[in-house]
Structure 1
Amino acid sequence: MDSLPEFLVPTVVTAKGRVTEMLPFDKAKIFPCSYRHTYAQRHADAGVAPDALQSFMDHRQLTTTQQY
């Protein structure tokens, strides 16, 4: 995760009143399995057939794929 670029996210800061600043996202909160889930969800949202997505994800059970 250290090699990833810095991700800036809008964050409400109350130290100077209530303002929104772009602050770096804590990379320790990023998990590799999140990328896998996002990949699957985006394909499902795009209408990829469940059996094709099952193959992409290497799921043994179609019911696992159908959760997306």
Structure 2
Amino acid sequence: MDVDALEIGSKLNFNSGATYHTVKKGETVSELAKKYGSTIKQIKNWNDLDNNYTIYVGESLRVE
């Protein structure tokens, strides 16, 4: 048996290190990027936002 092989039913645990933020009234993607040290492009990619993105109060976005 290969040492690197997984058995059927094995569980994998990992910490993605991702940080999520719940949008509050008046916040923008650019403000969130600055606050968390990310870029607008990264936040758009992580959250599948297109160029005409709109974020909504209460929405959870990956920011880091």
**TM exceeding 0.5:** no
Structure holding more strand per residue: 1
Which one has the largest radius of gyration?
Answer: 1
Structure holding more helix per residue: 1
TM-score (norm 1): 0.33
TM-score (norm 2): 0.35
